[in-house]
Chain A
Amino acid sequence: MATVSLESRPYEKVSDHDSSHESVNYLNHDHSILSWLLTLDHKRIGLLYLVTITLMFLLGGALAGAVRLELLTPKGDLLAADTYNKAFTAHGIIMLFFFLIPSIPAVMGNFVLPLMIGAKDVAFPRLNLLSYYLYFAGSVIALTALLLGGVDTGWTFYTPFSSTYSNSYVVVMAVGLFVVGFSSILTGLNFVVTVHRMRCPGLTWFRLPLFIWAIYATSVVQLLGTPVIAVTLGLLGVERTLGVGIFDPRLGGDPILFQHLFWFYSHPAVYIMILPSLGLISEVISTFSKKTVFGYHIIAFSSIAIAVFGFIVWAHHMFTTGISPYAAMVFSLLTFSVAIPSGIKVFSWLATMYGGSISFDTPMIYAFGFLGLFTIGGLTGLFLSTLGTDIHLHDTYFIVAHFHYIMVGGAIMGYMAGVHFWWPKITGRLYSEFWGKLSAGITFIGFNFTFFPQFILGYLGMPRRYYEYPDEFQVLNVFSTAGASILAIGYLMPMFYMPLSFFFGEKANSNPYGATTLDWTDTTSPPSPHNFEKTPVVTEEPYNFHGKEAAVVSH
């Protein structure tokens, strides 16, 4: 069972007594293609997602490149206006619905959730595979919409443009999102039931690793929010195909209703993207500080609080639409209150590191990047919740910078931290720490070069979603485009050294960082097909790094 000792380090070679790499594991027990495509094993399904969403990320990234290149010069010279609209729409849709939303839940969640709670699998393995294929089918439909000629509405599909005026493939795209939405719902459902019903003996709610709390909160949001966007897109499709007017003011409909329904999902959806990262960072920071998480209970509850608050702030996207000022005031206040649980988390991470024995491994470097960027993203959110300021900043590049700081700087940094963190568990191999740290550093620098200038651009009044801009904005835009190319290098590097590690990397032992959760202490690297030799029994809280020697049983 647990064969960990505190001295183990990532660079340590597998010692003789650790025979994990010899034995049968989930990767080598069956090599056929079908055994992958029809697998019911949560670990393999996680890897299927990993590969697919990485491809989507590359596509979304290429589109971002096109958008940034167009913005290198004030004139619209690279892309036609219409093509530009389609490029940023495709970029947004792919990155959000096909990369970021499935990223941590579907890849890391699938892989480690059962391992962390001592289960043999998720509660519904077949449903899990169905989720993957729904995701796949949704992607194919969405790509079809792009190949047919694309969509030009922006990822927000605002009516009446999307319902009445746009001549692009809105309905096809809506169908794709509808399908991928059900993938997300079913994953959420599966995880909720798994956390409730599949925990191993002794693993009470307050012994759960914080990543599980975060995934749990996220899953609830997926379960409650996604059906609303599904039905909203359904209505949009009905309106376009039947020529009725549920969102069309000429026909008695209300275009603002669309925005309400859209943001009722899409604000919580931004928490679907960031919450898993918040939990994951708690794991990484605690593990590499060798210290228990500061304020465990409060952090667990703050994940739940964020999920709950997430549902009652949606109209902060609509302050300029002419909603009632009283409603706007309430939504502004509520939005401010979201900052409280988010702030609590930041302070907890700092307090966790304080006095810890910190090691600067790659996941930790990514986590540091996350800390800085998420904080900036969250604080600028407060500017936007302020009614007066938002009138000035709404629909400018300030918004673009704000949400990229959170979604790219926060969520994707967290995802990268997670991929590096669990890589030895997933593959049984170590990657090159040198290249890992370098890529984390380059990503951080490239990111700030890309997006910080956008805060200034937005403040100066450059609107989003235009392919031309006045000459005086060029310097900052050149900064941003140059930064984007650095960022691209940062993201591309892991696509080389990670596959290299997969095939040639040094073997990892079962717990290279001396982590305390079951995924590390009780499984081999890579885990066996059914995860645990014997169902583990948990006897204490997580993150007890000091009681370690006493509690660990080696044999």
Chain B
Amino acid sequence: MSATNQTVQDHGQHHHHKDLAHHFDTLEQQHDANTLGMWAFLLTEVLFFGGLFAAYTIYRYKYSAMFEEASNHLDITLGATNTVILILSSLTMALAVRCSQTGQAVWTGRWLLITIFFGLMFLGVKYFEWKHDYNIRLMPGKDWAGKDFFWWQYAKKAKEMEKHDKGHSHALPDPKDVLPDNHPSLGIKGIQESQQARLFFLLYFCMTSLHALHMLVGFVLIGIIAYFAYQGAYSPDYYSPVENIGLYWHFVDIVWIFLFPLLYLLGAHMGH
């Protein structure tokens, strides 16, 4: 390959633009590079979550009955509320990107902050949901053992009873009062089923907390970009940071759009 001593003639005009990094020739090149970089990053993220989705798929297939059972113990209403909140936040993010493209600096900042607000609402709901999960003993950690197996069987029975005489809801008494610690009827099958449900909750907590972690990172980044937006750093010439944080945020939303049916609607869908 050889070069002639021509030079590029047309890279002069933007050359001194304040937003153009020295190693790019044009703003357009810089924008394309940033956008492609973000898409490549999201591709990595897809595979990052992909490992968990693969694990989910395999165990969902192996232990489908118990996964459905377990799924019924999640709160669909809270999950659905959060889905709506997150979709709203995607809308406000899209508006922020639009405003940055049309040069409305203040509204760019505002929509970004509103996006953070919806995000915080989501995590607030999630916090109460996790707390509830904790209270009804869905945590899959080290203390998922012994009486929790019974609890599991017990909860299952109570659900069935509830279905039987429709309408009358039964408040669950403490399982300790109902089943002795070494209840013999459960046997090895009960223990296995309990472990399978435990895997479901393990995946539920891993996936939702990894998702929440991405939201936290998002808050920081959106916050920084909102600050710069208020400073008037973005213009129709240069808005790729806003666009890229938008891509990131939509990605985080889409992950949730997959998590919601896989985790929450699974049991309902299977007709329980």
Contacts and interface: CB of A to CB of B under 8 A. Distances in A.
Contact of B2 (A189, A196, A552): A552
A189 B36 CA distance: 9
A305 to B, nearest CB: 20
Contacts of B29: 197-198
A255 to B, nearest CB: 12
Contact of A261 (B1, B51, B199): B51
Given A252-B192, A542-B1, A227 B48 contact: yes
B131 to A, nearest CB: 18
Interface string B173-209: 0000000000000000000100110110011001000
A14 interface: no
A544 B2 contact: yes
B48 A192 contact: no
B202 A246 contact: yes
A282 to B, nearest CB: 14
B1 A537 contact: no
Interface in B112-154: 140-142, 144
A223 B199 contact: no
Contacts of B220: none
A252 B195 contact: yes
B107 interface: no
Nearest to A228: B51
Contacts of B55: 235, 246, 257, 261
Contacts of A553: 3-5
Nearest to A120: B23
A125 B58 contact: no
Interface string A352-368: 00000000000000000
Interface stretch (B37-45, B75-83, B155-163): B37-45
B257 interface: no
A555 B36 CA distance: 38
Size bracket, chain B contacts:
35 or more
A224 B47 contact: yes
Interface in B1-29: 1-8, 11, 21-23, 25, 29
B44 A518 contact: no
Interface string A269-292: 000000000000000000000000
B142 to A, nearest CB: 4
Contacts of A544: 1-2
Contacts of A123: 23, 33, 37
Contacts, number: 160
Interface string A107-128: 0000000000011111111010
Contacts of A118: 3
A246 B144 CA distance: 14
Contacts of B268: none
B5 A238 contact: no
B199 A2 contact: no
A125 B30 CA distance: 12
A252 B63 contact: yes
A220 B199 CA distance: 32
Interface string A3-14: 000000000000
A518 B3 contact: yes
A539 B21 CA distance: 27
A124 B6 CA distance: 27
A423 B52 CA distance: 44
Interface in A513-555: 516-518, 521-522, 530, 534-544, 547-548, 551-553, 555
Contacts of A253: 199
A224 B41 CA distance: 10
Contacts of B236: none
A245 B2 CA distance: 59
A209 B266 CA distance: 51
Contacts of B49: 231
Given A197-B33, A223-B44, A539-B2, A251 B50 contact: no
B91 interface: no
A244 interface: yes
Given A193-B36, A227-B50, A230-B48, A2 B43 contact: no
B47 A228 contact: yes
Nearest to B45: A227
B199 A224 contact: no
A238 B203 CA distance: 11
Contact of A121 (B1, B23, B40, B142): B23
Contacts of B23: 119-123, 125, 198
14 contacts: A193-B36, A197-B29, A198-B23, A198-B33, A227-B45, A227-B47, A232-B51, A244-B141, A254-B59, A517-B1, A535-B8, A538-B1, A548-B2, A553-B5
Given A238-B202, A242-B140, A257-B58, 9 more contacts: A2-B2, A119-B23, A122-B23, A200-B8, A203-B1, A244-B142, A246-B55, A537-B6, A539-B3
